[in-house]
């Protein structure tokens, strides 16, 4: 399952969707997409690409500090039906986009791909919302793969235009990474349309997708894009980022189901990033710099920005046990980041004084790195969460590997399954009280899920809204969903269809992939 594996080509829907019910449901949907494409564009698509959303079971807000996480691809996904269109020097590439999601009324758009001087232009400023994710993916691919202009480096091939029709079942704003699925899928669409997918790997897709979202000003750590691109069915993805990207499958005990419940709280990470998501990234960078200086590691790093996992390696690289390293670091942070600043936070002046850098260099390197708005940065709390959450991931992985894979294993017969759930509950408590990234609706829903019988529940996603992920025995799913529907305030008044979209069980599914002879159509 190496990240260097080729981009998958599927031969049947059964290879993509792990449950038979999903295969039947999605078969109709895919046929509908092909028919709608012909209705919109007057011809049939030549290819179909799909990219799934993801649920992060454990390891929230630690990926950008390069600590491991435990996501899984979900059955819900974004499907792209498309047909490349010819382009030449006299007839530049043109993109036509349409989205068949009727609930959110996404408008169609079309725009030329042009190159002037040293820059590509995809009319990003004209983006109407959803299409911005596609445009940034196309722009990143153009800049990296066609760096010299309209022709592919080393050949006379021009960047292709395309007609694209999108169908999505990942609820936007749910914390299930609909944006990452959109970007990952758009990257693969570009590669296939330009006949480049055979020379690229899954890791290339992840790299292009991460860089695309960075163009939008959201400093993601790479978990969402990696999960959408790299996951395998029936397993969580134990995803490590240090020293290099390393994905490994981690089977869940077979008696446990993953349940996703959407809080329905409105949220947008990109709009609120300066006070929320990006601020947390900057807080962790600043905390890491101060730890680095306190531990006397400045001579090894200089003025480079380093993430916390990298600094722990420099601090105590001889410790091979990840758990012991995290516990040792936890014993250090109060003395360095605590004191009177522990509760009130650090001012910019206080941080620069402890950074070992000049005020000008520190602000340029750390405070101007991303747009943020805050007078005090809470370094102790953010670091405490990052280390304890990473320790929970470490312990969860160890426990999963120990638990018997016997399908009759239950929480009653093996109390270690209950401990897995406790790690989720502890994670939520820490995100609510220490990292401060939950939402009142999410906190209410998490409590309802635990009371309804979940082994463990926690917020999942970037935060400040989104969904709750729960683990519970497979045979308790119907009762659990019934109880959650009755007790969660914001599910009142939902139709059966609306509730089914907001709360559902999912099997860990396959990562993103593209067309094969099975999906290609003539015409």
Residue ranges and CATH numbers for the domains of the chain are 13-51+77-216 (3.30.230.10)
- Residue 519: C-alpha distances to residues 45, 170, 281 (Å): 9, 22, 41
Would you state the pLDDT for residue 153? 53
pTM, 2 dp:
0.89
| pLDDT at residue 256, rounded to an integer | 92
Q: Is the pLDDT of residue 103 over 80?
A: no
Q: What is the mean pLDDT of residues 348-371?
A: 93
Is the pLDDT higher at 152 or at 490? 490
With beta carbons less than 8 A apart as the criterion, state whether 232 and 505 touch: no
pLDDT at residue 151, as a whole number = 60
pLDDT of residue 352: 96
- For the cut 60, the answer to whether the pLDDT of residue 516 exceeds it is no
Alpha helices in 302-439 (DSSP H): 308-315, 322-337, 341-344, 348-354, 359-362, 379-402, 416-433
pLDDT one-digit tens code per residue, 145-189: 988 775 655 556 788 999 999 999 998 878 888 999 999 999 999
Q: Per mean pLDDT, which range of 298-302, 415-419, 450-454 is the poorest?
A: 298-302
Distance, CA of 216 to CA of 165 (rounded, Å): 22
pLDDT number for residue 522: 38
Q: Percentage of the chain with pLDDT > 90? A: 72
- What is the 3-state composition of the chain as percent helix, strand, coil, each rounded to the nearest 5? 45, 20, 35
| pLDDT for position 480 | 98
């Amino acid at each position: 399952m190496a990240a260097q594996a080729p981009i998958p080509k599927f031969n049947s829907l059964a290879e993509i969707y792990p449950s038979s019910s999903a295969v039947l449901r999605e078969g109709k949907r895919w046929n509908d997409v092909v028919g709608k494409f012909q209705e919109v564009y007057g011809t049939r698509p030549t290819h179909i690409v799909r990219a799934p959303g993801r649920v992060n079971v454990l390891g929230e807000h630690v990926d950008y500090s390069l600590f491991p996480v435990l996501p899984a691809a979900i059955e819900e996904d974004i499907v792209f039906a498309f047909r490349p269109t010819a382009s030449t020097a006299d007839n530049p590439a043109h993109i036509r986009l349409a989205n068949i999601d009727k609930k959110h009324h996404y408008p169609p758009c079309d725009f030329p791909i042009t190159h002037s001087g040293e820059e590509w232009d995809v009319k990003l400023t004209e983006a109407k919302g959803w299409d911005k994710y596609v445009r940034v993916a196309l722009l990143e691919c153009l800049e990296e793969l066609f760096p010299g202009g309209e022709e592919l480096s080393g050949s006379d091939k021009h960047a292709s235009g395309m007609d694209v029709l999108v169908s999505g079942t990942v609820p936007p704003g749910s914390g299930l990474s609909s944006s990452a699925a959109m970007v990952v899928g758009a990257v693969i669409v570009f590669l296939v349309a330009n006949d480049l997918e055979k020379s690229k790997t899954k890791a290339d897709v992840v790299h292009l997708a991460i860089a695309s979202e960075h163009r939008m000003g959201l400093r993601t750590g790479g978990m969402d894009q990696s999960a959408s691109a790299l996951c395998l069915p029936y397993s969580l993805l134990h995803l490590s980022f240090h020293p290099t990207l390393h994905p490994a499958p981690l089977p869940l005990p077979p008696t446990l189901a993953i349940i996703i419940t959407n809080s329905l709280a409105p949220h947008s990470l990109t709009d609120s990033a300066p006070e929320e998501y990006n601020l947390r990234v900057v807080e962790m960078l600043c905390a890491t710099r101060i730890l680095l200086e306190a531990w006397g590691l400045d001579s090894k790093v200089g003025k480079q920005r380093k993430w916390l996992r990298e600094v722990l390696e420099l601090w105590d690289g001889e410790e091979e046990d990840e758990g012991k390293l995290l516990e040792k670091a936890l014993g250090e942070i109060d003395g360095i980041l605590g004191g009177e600043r522990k509760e009130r936070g650090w001012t910019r002046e206080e941080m620069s004084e402890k950074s070992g850098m000049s005020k000008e260099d520190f602000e340029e390197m750390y405070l101007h790195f991303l747009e943020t708005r805050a007078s005090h940065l809470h370094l102790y709390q953010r670091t405490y969460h990052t280390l304890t959450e990473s320790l929970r991931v470490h312990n969860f992985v160890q426990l999963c590997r120990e638990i018997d894979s016997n399908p009759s294993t239950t929480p009653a017969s093996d109390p270690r399954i209950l401990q897995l759930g406790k790690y989720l509950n502890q994670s939520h408590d820490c995100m609510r009280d220490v990292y401060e990234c939950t939402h009142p609706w999410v906190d209410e829903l998490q409590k309802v899920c635990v009371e309804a019988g979940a082994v463990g529940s926690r917020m999942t996603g970037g935060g400040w809204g989104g969904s709750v992920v729960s683990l519970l025995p497979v045979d308790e799913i119907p009762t659990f969903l019934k109880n959650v529907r009755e007790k969660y305030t914001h599910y009142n008044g939902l139709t059966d269809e609306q509730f089914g979209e907001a709360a559902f069980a999912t099997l860990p599914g396959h990562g993103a992939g593209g067309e094969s002879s099975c999906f290609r159509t003539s015409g």
